[in-house]
Every structure is written in structure tokens, then in C-alpha cells.
Chains A and B, each alone.
Chain A
Amino acid sequence: MQCAATIEPGKITYLVTESLKNVLLENESTEIDNVNASTSLLGKHSILESLGLVTLLVDLEQRLEENYDVCVTLADERAMSQKNSPFRTVQSLTDYIRMLLEENLQSVGS
């Protein structure tokens, strides 16, 4: 098990894109090859169907726990109350996860 102290650049992006591809695969989507940092996860241009985002976030919480031994809630009050949702795109979700992990690391270190 990797601890939160070693957040490698690119690892979170990898986890997000792999999770997203899994969800798309489960839904037999043909969009798998089009996943990139700017891929929309919300709204009318979203690559995901209605339950896809729920599945993606739950899957990511479990992957983060397996990889970093941290218990994070992605759809927390802060995420829900932001003017610009952190779940807009692959990039914004990646940034949000990185921030949560860094906070978690700081709280463990303090």
C-alpha cells in the first residue's frame, strides 16, 4: 500500500482516466479513445450517462483508498457548494483529488 506522502505526478491523472475508461467500457461506450484532460464529465457535453458520474466517483474513492490508504469523500459539501463544480472535466476532477490528497497528507503530518 502506497502512503499519501508519495503522490507521484501523473498518477492521479492515470487513476482518473483509467476509472473513466472502465465506466465507459461497462456502458459499452464508443468514446473510450477520446478521453483526455478536457473531457467533459458534466452537462450536455458529458461523455458519461446519468449514473456514470456516480459510478466514476465511487470507483475513484475506492482506488484512492487502495493506492494511498486514505478515506476520501469526493462528493463532499465543499465539492457540492463550489460555483464551478470540480467534476466538470477530467482535469478539474484530477486537480480536486490532488488537493484532497495533499490536505490529507498535511493533516497526517501535523
Chain B
Amino acid sequence: MSDREVVFITGTRKGIGRYLTEHFVRKGAVVEGCSRKEIDWQLENYTHHIADVADESQIKTIMSFIQKRHGRLDITINNAGIASMNHSLLTPASMVDRIMATNFRGTFIVCRESAKLMKKHRYGRIVNFSTIAAPMRLEGEAIYAASKSAVTTLTQIFAREVADFGITCNVVGPTPIDTDLIRAVPKNKIDHLVQNLAIKRLGRFEDVANVIDFFVKPESGYITGQTLYLGGIS
């Protein structure tokens, strides 16, 4: 069995996922990650898998690989997500299916399969992703925000279901960060949003990593089912 902490992160090709990969490797962990497309970077102690989080068999294959290679899984970060800013009246149903598949179904499958590995050692930390778009009721983000609200409810109940196995499950809800996810959003919309935060600036990768570090440390074993929004949103 690996003597180092083993971390699984979804959506590692770019943005927060890549940052978190580098963050955990810097901290001495072994990281396994996935994205739907190949990555154009390499990192020691990081192994990349091509997988769609919404595909049950692909995630099971990765978990099987982790079990055989490391014999343990300590932390899972459900970062993979897609967004689409669109008025509800102009949102195709196919878009709803696509967003729910990645953001909700994918999060569920990864939670379930991670917990199966974690329960072997009666220890695990799972962190899911929401967004401040949900509590802020942001117009144009109904489907994205709803998919993340589903993640929050899933987390609250899942946390209770796996508590007896020594596994915690929490949610971080970032503000907009300068990533591809918000690049298509008009600047005046982002400015307006930032003005409505308690702390009036865009988020940074470090802000997200800080919350995740808190959720995943061994001392946080009494914290589960919680959602922590950044930027002063509640």
C-alpha cells in the first residue's frame, strides 16, 4: 500500500483542477486525475486518465486502477463541471441533460465509487463543488445553479450515509474565478456580480485550495455535509 496520501481529482486538464493537482503534489501527495481530453502537461506523482465523470464504467475502471496501484484512496475532489449561461426560455433540453450529467450524475458516481474504496480503511475526505450562483439566484444560470444545488443536497445526505465509514463529504462554493468557465460571460455581468459580494474581487485558486485544505485535513473528521461559499456569500 502506498505510504503517501492518495488524491483523486476530476477535471484536471486546466483551471482549478490543474491548480489543485499541483497543490496536492507540492504537499507530497500522489494524485490521480481525469478529464475528457488529453492534457498537454506533465507532473511527477500525477497520473492522468481520460474519462467522462458521467460514465459509470470509466470511473469504476479508474477506481479499480487506484486500488490496485495504491491500495488506498484518501481524498476525492469532485471538480469537473460545465456551465452554460443562458436565459431559461432559450435553453435547450439537451443542454440541461448535458449539464446535469457532468455536474450532478458525475459527482454522484465519483462520490459513490470513491466511498467504496475509502471505507476499506474507514477514512476518506470528499469535497464537491457548488457555486455562489445558487445562493445568489443569478439570472441566466438557472440550470447550472440548479445542478449545483442538487450537488449540495446530495452532499448533505451522502455525508450522513457514509459517516459511519469514517468518510466526510463537504461542498466548496467558489465565486467566479478568471477561468474558461466565465470567459464567455460579459464583463459588465461579472462586475455587477463582484459588486454584490461582501469581498469585492474575483476569486483566486488559492481561495478555493484553502477551503479544500480545511475540509480534507485529518482534524476535520467532525465536519461533514457542510457548504462553504467564498466571498462572503451565505
Contacts and interface: CB of A to CB of B under 8 A. Distances in A.
Contacts of A51: 164
B64 interface: yes
Q: How large is the interface on B (under 10, 10 to 19, 20 to 34, 35 or more residues)?
A: 10 to 19
A58 B119 contact: yes
B60 A55 contact: no
A71 B66 CA distance: 14
B119 A71 contact: no
A65 B64 contact: yes
Contacts of A73: 56, 60
16 contacts: A51-B164, A55-B119, A58-B116, A58-B119, A61-B116, A62-B67, A62-B116, A62-B120, A65-B64, A65-B67, A71-B57, A71-B60, A71-B61, A71-B64, A73-B56, A73-B60
Given A61-B116, A71-B57, A73-B60, 6 more contacts: A55-B119, A58-B116, A62-B67, A62-B120, A71-B64, A73-B56
Nearest to A76: B56
Contacts of A62: 67, 116, 120
Interface of B: 56-57, 60-61, 64, 67, 116, 119-120, 164
Contacts of B64: 65, 71
Closest 3 CB pairs of A and B: A58-B116, A71-B60, A51-B164
Contacts of B61: 71
A24 to B, nearest CB: 16
Interface residues of A, number: 8
Interface of A: 51, 55, 58, 61-62, 65, 71, 73
A62 B116 CA distance: 9
A51 B115 CA distance: 14
B122 to A, nearest CB: 10
Contacts of B116: 58, 61-62
A47 B23 CA distance: 46
Contacts of B56: 73
Nearest to A55: B119
B120 to A, nearest CB: 7
A65 B64 CA distance: 8
A61 B57 CA distance: 14
A65 B61 CA distance: 11
Nearest to A51: B164
Contacts of A58: 116, 119
